[in-house]
């Protein structure tokens, strides 16, 4: 079946004339010519369309995995260029639903009981359908509450496994055939994509993601997260609280309901940056199809199969970079890229600073309300070839989500000033991480570790000292240190404990 799928992909690429892309590389052009010659009898379609448009049509034809990967590529202008970004951004996961009777069977198998014993009503007509799953509305017998039942598409895991293997082969081919292949790390990108799409297939993981975001935003009056009903959830079925709302892209209806679109746009940016920098855990699939708006103007988040996690180090470098960008401190941006390891250690700071200034100054000469941080990222990628800056797979989801959030905000409010909303959040985070407040915060977090390590400190010191080779000079040093330690160790430990207590009281 893998061979048949490969043949189907090869023919699809031919039908839409995509081997033209391979002809741009000397190494792959011969392969492209041979394949096209062998398939001369198969007619081409959409001949009047541009190459980027034909690429989108081919991806849609190839199904779920390719659509998901195309959506990821739509955020990577450094890989595919602006014309392709414009087309791949139009990719939608919406596909025709599978039969309601199949959905019933999957849910009954998951519950281990007849549907009628759990739901007083179950709509076989799907209310939403995407490449991975579809959603049905139902009513619980237990408390008559409305719920959403998300059902995984049958056999989708097997289909995805096969396509991922093929994509890995393509990534290997690209890395070997194109000049920038190694720097762009397509194999690493596919591995990261594989992790992402596998996470989407595990509905228990998605339910856990939703629960974590619900917990984090429990006191936030700007967003609603549906609660998961774990008694009815499984690997391929999620039952959750039903959320009534208007699709965020339905501007006319939102206006008719009196929703303040400007405030809504600011709230969206605030929610995103709070998730990234305060929580280090963010909803990484924030496109309009996954966002509703309640009648009282709150965001309603849906579909938590894709989330992003950032380490404290990543958050620190990102915050420094973003603040430096908007303060036009390009030297700081260059230094941070080298310090973080995103650029090689031998990179000339002055040359990188100059290159960053060259691409960013035209952007920052516009009013802040017109600046696109997504465009800043894209411009930076354009200079990455020159300085051999490697793509960071762990930041792909963040890049994708920034573009989505920015697009969502500007859709609601074309005059949205991202910086007005984002800067206070970043500055608050930086103050909390650095300076006295940051020190106190980090010390408080380290108290459990210190309380475990301090009692064993005397023994560890004695062991390390006795391990020194037994010569006269080392013995003298050891004896002096030991005598000094015996006199001071309890005073030292008491001082440390006192400091910890004082710091804890100050933090509170």
Q: Which residues are catalytic?
A: 285
DSSP code, position 274: I
- Residue 33 CB contacts under 8 Å (≥ 6 apart), including other chains: 23
Q: 435 is written with which tokens?
A: 């300076």
Q: 233 is written with which tokens?
A: 């959830």
The DSSP result for 381-404, as a single string, is HHHHHHHTPPP-GGGHHHHHHHHH
- Based on the number of CB atoms within 10 Å of its own CB, is 492 exposed (0-12), middle (13-18) or buried (19 or more)? middle
106, 99 in Cβ contact below 8 A? no
CA distance 346 to 327: 25
> How many CB atoms are located within 10 Å of the residue 225 CB?
25
185, 173 in Cβ contact below 8 A? no
C-alpha Rg value of the chain to the nearest Å: 28
> How many CB atoms are located within 10 Å of the residue 488 CB?
11
By residue count, the chain amounts to 508
Question: What backbone phi and psi angles, to 5 degrees, belong to 404?
Answer: -60, -45
Angle between helices 64-73 and 51-62 (to 10 degrees): 140
**SS3 category, 155:** coil
The DSSP result for 432-479, as a single string, is HHSHHHHHHHHHHHHHHHHHHHGGGHHHHHHHHHHTS---HHHHHHHH
182, 201 in Cβ contact below 8 A? no
CA distance 131 to 69: 12
104, 119 in Cβ contact below 8 A? no
Side-chain half-sphere of 146: how many Cα atoms within 13 Å? 7
């Amino acid at each position: 079946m893998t061979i048949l799928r490969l043949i189907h992909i090869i023919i699809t690429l031919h039908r839409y004339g995509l081997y033209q892309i391979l002809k741009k590389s000397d190494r792959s052009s011969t392969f492209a010519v041979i394949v096209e010659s062998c398939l001369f009898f198969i007619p081409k379609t959409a001949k009047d369309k541009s190459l980027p448009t034909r690429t989108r049509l081919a991806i849609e034809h190839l199904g779920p995995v390719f659509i998901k990967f195309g959506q990821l590529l739509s955020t990577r202008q450094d890989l595919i260029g602006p014309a392709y970004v414009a087309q791949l951004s139009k990719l939608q996961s919406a596909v025709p639903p599978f039969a309601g009777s199949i959905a019933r069977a999957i849910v009954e198998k998951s519950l281990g009981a007849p549907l009628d014993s759990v739901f007083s009503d179950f709509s076989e007509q799907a209310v939403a359908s995407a490449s991975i799953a579809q959603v049905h509305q139902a009513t619980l017998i237990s408390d008559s509450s409305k719920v959403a039942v998300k059902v995984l598409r049958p056999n989708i895991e097997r289909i995805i496994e096969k396509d991922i293997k093929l994509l890995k082969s393509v990534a290997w081919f690209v890395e070997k055939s194109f000049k920038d292949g190694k720097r762009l790390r397509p194999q690493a990108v596919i591995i990261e994509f594989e992790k992402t799409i596998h996470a989407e297939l595990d509905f228990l993981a998605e339910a856990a993601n939703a629960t974590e975001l619900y917990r984090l935003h429990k006191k936030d009056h700007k967003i609603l997260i549906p609660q998961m009903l774990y008694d009815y959830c499984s690997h391929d079925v999620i039952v959750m609280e039903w959320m009534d709302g208007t699709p965020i892209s339905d501007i006319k209806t939102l206006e008719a309901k009196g929703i303040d679109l400007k405030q809504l746009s600011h709230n969206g940016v605030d929610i995103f940056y709070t998730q990234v920098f305060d929580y280090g855990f963010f909803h990484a699939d924030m496109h309009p199809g996954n966002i509703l708006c309640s009648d009282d103007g709150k965001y309603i988040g849906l579909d938590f199969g894709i989330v992003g996690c950032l380490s404290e180090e990543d958050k620190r470098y990102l915050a420094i970079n973003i603040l430096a960008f908007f303060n036009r401190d390009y030297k700081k941006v260059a230094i941070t890229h080298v310090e973080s390891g995103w650029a090689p250690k031998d990179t000339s700071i002055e040359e990188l600073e100059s290159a960053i200034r060259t691409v960013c100054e035209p952007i920052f000469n516009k009013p802040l309300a017109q600046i696109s941080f997504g465009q800043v990222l894209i411009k930076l990628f354009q200079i990455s070839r020159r300085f051999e800056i490697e793509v960071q797979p762990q930041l792909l989801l963040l890049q994708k989500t920034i573009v989505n959030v920015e697009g969502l905000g500007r859709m609601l409010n074309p005059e949205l000033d991202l910086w007005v909303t984002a800067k206070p959040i970043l500055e608050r985070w930086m103050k909390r991480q650095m300076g006295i407040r940051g020190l106190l915060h980090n010390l408080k977090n380290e108290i459990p570790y210190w309380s475990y390590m301090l009692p064993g400190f005397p023994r560890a010191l004695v062991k390390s000292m006795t391990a020194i080779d037994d010569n006269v000079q080392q013995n003298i040093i050891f004896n002096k240190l030991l005598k000094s330690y015996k006199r001071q160790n309890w005073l030292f430990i008491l001082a440390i404990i006192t400091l910890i207590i004082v710091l804890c009281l100050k933090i509170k």
